[in-house]
Amino acid sequence: MEPIIKTRNTEVVYNLGKKNEFKAISDFSIDIYPGEFVSLFGPSGCGKSTIFYAILGVLKPSTGELIVKGENPYAFSPAEMVSYQAKTIGIIYQAFFLIPSLSVIDNVALPQTFMGTPYPKRRKRAQELLDRFGVGSKSDTYPALLSGGQSQRVSVARAMVNNPDILLADEPTGNLDSKSSDQVMEYLKELSERDKKTVVMITHNAAQLHYCHRVFYMKDGRLLRVVPNPDKPQIAKFDKQKVLVTEIEILSKIYPYSQPEELKVKSIINYLTQDLDFLQLDRLEKATAKMLMRKVSRDTFYEYLKVPILKGGVGLPEDRAAAMSDKIEQILKQSEDVRRYRRRMNVGVFFNREEKLINDILFYVMEEAGISLTREKKMRLKQLVRDRVSGLIRKEEMEEILKRSLDKKGLDFKPDQVFKVVSYFEKLLTQGVDTTNKS
């Protein structure tokens, strides 16, 4: 099968030859096949929209090759380009771009007007699509009376009215609530699977990537990697060994903006510091989330950790399950003092209680790090704890003061002591963040 979209060493340079010249896309080579649902994925400014507009036919590459259905659209005459953009490409925008003075059905039928389709025929086609996408009853309504989800479904109908081969979807759910987002994504999935349309979606929402056959990860105008979705039958040719659900593939979903080298580091760190596999870690994470929200008790958490893997548990030995349960319970209880301190600080109500809270937090940190201090060091650490929990200094500043020599008003801690103090203290701070907006 030949790709329906192909780029080779494509580059796009804005303001070429000027002082403010900017290379938006560099050495970009991809193949997209008929019927594929793919995503251009990455942070804002990575070049997703540049590729989008190049495929659309409104942004000519500076160098390299861009081929759509075997042809270079930038070699078309003006009339051929109009036909290409009307028949080959359908566009779904984040902002809908419905014309407010036209009824819903006339908005959908509008692209057929430019193709010379008679009014009864284009109205019938528009109504069929509106019915299909669940907004048939809104035909004679005007866009201002539609919800966001309805507007986007009308936009999908409009994109499909000329039966294009390719749908370009630019952040199609960016302005929608979660329910409407899911509906639109299901329709795009249907168009790919049932209608065999090629869907090219721009997004920075990792939660939507499971709809895609493949994901093109982008950063700084370059293609970082191409990741096939192991849960979907692939249309493009691929090496089956590379599509197995490996640690790297799982990590790429957890850390979608990380480069392969960074994922390898995370994988080896996991190997060196954990003897749990990813299934165990996933279950442990979900169970811990319930405990952090106090949906389960320490004892229930402990019992779940001991349940064998084949029976749906984490499969930890009793002593390790007990140690882990006790540690999390300890952190949660101690972090309550951090939360109390910050609440009082926010409303300016301290009195004598403030001193006790700081002393308690100081004690927790010293006990966990296993350190004993002179009176002078203890007073300095106490002030450091107060400053950090109050948000007056950052983590890096706390580390620097702990390492600094006594004569420079530091604490002269050894590297392992610095690590123990900071890492445990940050755990207390993280858990002590108040997300309830209570005073």
Provide mean pLDDT across the span 170-178.
88
**Cα torsion 325, 327, 332, 333: sign:** positive
Q: What is the mean pLDDT of residues 355-382?
A: 87
The pairing of beta strand 166-170 with beta strand 37-41 = unpaired
pLDDT at 241 over 80: no
Cα-Cα-Cα-Cα dihedral of 402, 405, 406, 412, to 10°? Answer: 50
Strands of 33-96 (E only): list them.
37-41, 63-68, 89-92
Residue among 97, 92, 94, 74 at smallest CA distance from 84: 74
Min mean pLDDT across 46-55, 116-125, 330-339 is at: 330-339
Least confident of 50-54, 105-109, 263-267, 400-404: 263-267
Q: Tell which wins on pLDDT, 267 or 359.
A: 359
Helix (H) or strand (E) holding 267: helix 260-273
Tens of pLDDT, residues 108-145: 999 998 888 999 999 999 999 999 999 999 999 999 99
What's the rounded Cα separation, in Å, for the pair 160 and 293?
45
Q: How far is CA 241 from CA 32, 166, 228, in A?
A: 21, 30, 11
Segment 347-371 shows an average pLDDT of 75
Query: Amino acid letter at 141?
Result: T
Could you tell me the end-to-end alpha-carbon distance of the chain, in angstroms, rounded to an integer? 63
pLDDT at 271: 52
In the prediction, which pLDDT does 276 show?
67
Structure tokens at 122: 């284009």
Confidence of residue 304 (pLDDT cuts 50, 70, 90): very high
Query: Would you kindly state where each structural domain of the chain is located, as residue ranges?
Result: 5-238, 278-316, 337-431
Q: What CA–CA distance (Å, rounded) separates 28 from 47? A: 10
Quote the CA–CA distance of 63 and 93 in Å, as a whole number.
27
- What was the pLDDT predicted at 397? 87
Q: What is the pLDDT of residues 280-291, one digit of tens each?
A: 777 887 888 888
Q: Where does the pLDDT of residue 272 fall: very low under 50, low under 70, confident under 90, or very high at 90 and above?
A: very low
**pLDDT at residue 348 above 60?**
no
155-159, 205-209, 325-329, range with greatest mean pLDDT: 155-159
**For 296-374, where are the alpha helices, taking DSSP H only?**
298-306, 318-347, 353-369
- From CA 338, how far away is CA 332, in angstroms rounded? 10
Do 223 and 46 meet the contact criterion of CB atoms below 8 Å apart?
no
245: helix, coil or strand?
A: coil
CB 154 within 8 A of CB 104: yes
- Indicate if the pLDDT at residue 205 is higher than 80: no
Kindly state the tokens that stand for 66. Answer: 């861009």
Per mean pLDDT, which range of 21-30, 55-64, 160-169, 256-265 is the poorest?
256-265
Q: Does pLDDT of 243 surpass 60?
A: no
- What is the model's pLDDT at position 249? 61
Q: What number of residues does the chain have?
A: 439
Q: Is the dihedral of CA 6, 10, 15, 17 positive or negative?
A: negative
Instruction: Assign 367 to helix, strand or coil.
Output: helix
Residues 67-83 pLDDT 10s: 999 999 999 999 999 99
Contact 197, 183 (CB under 8 A): no
At 323-334, the pLDDT tens digits run: 888 988 888 888
Confidence band of 2 (pLDDT split at 50, 70, 90): very high
**How far apart are alpha carbons 137 and 115 in whole angstroms?**
26
At residue 234, the pLDDT reads: 85
Of the two residues 302 and 240, the one the predictor is more confident about is 302
The predicted structure's pLDDT at residue 438:
41
pLDDT at residue 232 in the model? 80
Q: Buried b / exposed e across 356-368, counting CB within 10 Å, b at 16+?
A: ebbebbbebbbeb
How much is the mean pLDDT over the chain? 85
Average pLDDT score over residue span 391-420: 88
Tokens of residue 365, six digits:
């940190």
* pLDDT tops 60 at residue 382: yes
5-238 topology per CATH: Rossmann fold (3.40.50)
The per-residue pLDDT for 350 is: 45
Smallest Cα–Cα separation from 17: which of 71, 55, 57, 62?
A: 62
Here the tokens at position 419 are: 């690590």
- Is the pLDDT at 3 greater than 80? The verdict is yes
Q: How confident is the model at residue 202, as a pLDDT?
A: 93
pLDDT band with cut points at 50, 70 and 90 for residue 258: low
Q: Which residues pair with 192 in a beta bridge?
A: none
φ, ψ of residue 282 to 5 degrees: the values are: -65, -45
pLDDT: is 14 or 431 the higher one? Answer: 14
Q: What would the mean pLDDT of 52-62 be, rounded to a whole number?
A: 94
Task: Report the percentage of the chain scoring pLDDT > 70.
Answer: 86
* List of residues 6+ apart from 342 with CB closer than 8 A: 389, 390, 432, 433, 434
Report the range out of 33-47, 151-165, 212-226 with the highest average pLDDT. 151-165
* pLDDT for res 233: 83
